[in-house]
Amino acid sequence: MDLRTVLLYSHFALFLSTSLVFAGDIVHQDDIAPKKPGCDNNFVLVKVPIWLDGVEVTQFVGIGARFGPTLESQEKRADQIIVSLADPPDCCSTPRNKLTGEAILVHRGNCSFVTKAKVAEAAGASALLIINNQTDLFKMVCEKNETVVDVGIPVVMLPQDAGGSLKVSMKNSSHVSIQIYSPKRPLVDVAEVFLWLMAVGTVLCASYWSAWSAREAAIEHDKLLKDGFDEHLTSDTHHSSGLIEINTASAIFFVVFASCFLVMLYKLMSYWFIEILVVVFCIGGVEGLQTCLVAILA
Ligand SMILES: *[C@@H]1O[C@H](CO)[C@@H](O)[C@H](O)[C@H]1NC(C)=O
Ligand SMILES: *[C@@H]1O[C@H](CO)[C@@H](O)[C@H](O)[C@H]1NC(C)=O
Ligand SMILES: *[C@@H]1O[C@H](CO)[C@@H](O)[C@H](O)[C@H]1NC(C)=O
Ligand SMILES: *[C@@H]1O[C@H](CO)[C@@H](O)[C@H](O)[C@H]1NC(C)=O
């Protein structure tokens, strides 16, 4: 197997992983706010199916908060809760409407997320849905001065459009209910395994192809030599099969090496590591390009 072929393929892999890493480099408010007792949940995607008069009509996707209880992971076990609008809509002071275990729909802003959750819980709500003021989601963290966080109801942020259409439904129908659940992520993503297989398959094919073409070339070479020197043949055949064995070994080595490498990349995910990689792959790429040019021009 030609090491340069491998390097060329690695370029592609590197390009993919770099875009992933850069996506992970964005600093959120949750990176600055430290985890503390009662405020140390992982951010999970939350599914919120909407039921109108007993029929499930749509499903929104929100994000859970750093605080609050762990969410149910299965839809069939999640309770159906009636939704009501908060009055005032920011839920920073005790709502005027009477609540008896409903989920309460509030707007973001005017006070902290924890304050809203505590107000809603004290007023008798069983869940809090916060509508974001933007179309995307926001990771809800605790403020620096909120040392004791003890929220007993689930808090979910919905994007602005989802919140808006939920409000429209509530104006139209008298009986709007929701469920809140967060499906567990599988330990190993099927897509990850598939990508790994694809990468390994590509490398194996490439190495077999180059090993095969090397063998063809060796046979051709042998044929040419056969006319002139008959004795030379045996030692030369031996030489060509030796070349293929080395190729197989290095292919296996590469697969193991690349897998470890990808795992490391995934674990480290740091900027300097990527920079070193870019330099290393550039050197390999230039070398590969040079070989190609020499082969074409010769
Ligand atoms: C914040 O408070 C102001 C004044 O009470 C009010 O006009 C505004 O609508 C509130 N913001 C939200 C998001 O409810
Ligand atoms: C959304 O609300 C937050 C908190 O009140 C505020 O800092 C931010 O500027 C608002 N964003 C928009 C686009 O209104
Ligand atoms: C935290 O600080 C903000 C203003 O910086 C204040 O409005 C809020 O009441 C404080 N919260 C607590 C729990 O002290
Ligand atoms: C309101 O409900 C009626 C029937 O209950 C339906 O025909 C109409 O499309 C609904 N409007 C909106 C805006 O959802």
Residue-by-residue pLDDT tens, the chain, 298 positions: 455 555 555 555 555 554 444 444 455 667 667 788 888 888 899 999 999 988 999 999 999 999 999 999 888 889 999 999 998 999 999 999 888 999 999 999 999 999 999 999 999 999 999 999 999 888 898 888 888 888 999 999 999 999 999 999 998 888 899 999 998 877 777 777 888 888 888 878 887 888 888 888 888 888 887 776 655 544 444 555 445 555 677 778 888 888 887 777 777 666 777 788 788 888 888 888 888 788 888 7
For ligand 2, what atom is nearest to the CA of residue 109?
5
C-alpha separations of 248 from 199, 216, 240, 245, 253 in Å: 17, 16, 13, 5, 9
Atom 14 of ligand 3, residue of closest alpha carbon:
145
Quick one: CA dihedral 116, 117, 122, 125, positive or negative?
positive
DSSP summary character for residue 75: G
Please check whether residue 203 is in contact with residue 6, taking contact to mean a CB–CB distance below 8 angstroms: yes
Q: What is the DSSP string of 187-217?
A: SS-HHHHHHHHHHHHHHHHHHHHHHHHHHHH
In which element (H, E) is residue 45 found? strand 45-52
Alpha-carbon distance 56 to 213, whole Å? 60
Residue 233: the pLDDT is: 47
Report the separation in Å between the CA atom of 162 and the middle of ligand 1, taken as the mean of its atom positions: 20
Parallel, antiparallel, or unpaired for β 155-158 and 55-64? antiparallel
C-alpha angle 138-183-162 in degrees, rounded to nearest 5: 40
Which ligand minimizes its atom distance to the CA of 132?
Answer: 2
Q: Is the CB of 146 under 6 A from ligand 3?
A: yes
Q: What is the DSSP string of 97-134?
A: S--SS-EEEEES-SS-HHHHHHHHHHHT-SEEEEE-SS
For ligand 2, what atom is nearest to the CA of residue 132?
1
Q: What are phi and psi of 273, to 5 degrees?
A: -60, -40
For ligand 1, what atom is nearest to the CA of residue 110?
1
pTM equals 0.64
Residue 198: the pLDDT is: 84
Please check whether residue 123 is in contact with residue 102, taking contact to mean a CB–CB distance below 8 angstroms: no
For ligand 1, what atom is nearest to the CA of residue 89?
14
Out of 92, 104, 108, 110, mutate this one to test ligand 1's pocket (max ligand atoms within 8 Å of CB): namely 110
| Calculated CA dihedral for residues 94, 99, 102, 105, nearest 10 degrees | -40
Residue 106: the pLDDT is: 95
Residue 24: the pLDDT is: 42
Atom 14 of ligand 4, residue of closest alpha carbon:
169
Report the separation in Å between the CA atom of 98 and the middle of ligand 2, taken as the mean of its atom positions: 28
For 28, other C-beta atoms within 10 Å of its C-beta total: 11
Q: Which residues are 60's β-sheet partners?
A: 48
Report the separation in Å between the CA atom of 109 and the middle of ligand 1, taken as the mean of its atom positions: 8
Q: Which two tokens stand for residue 279?
A: 């330099």
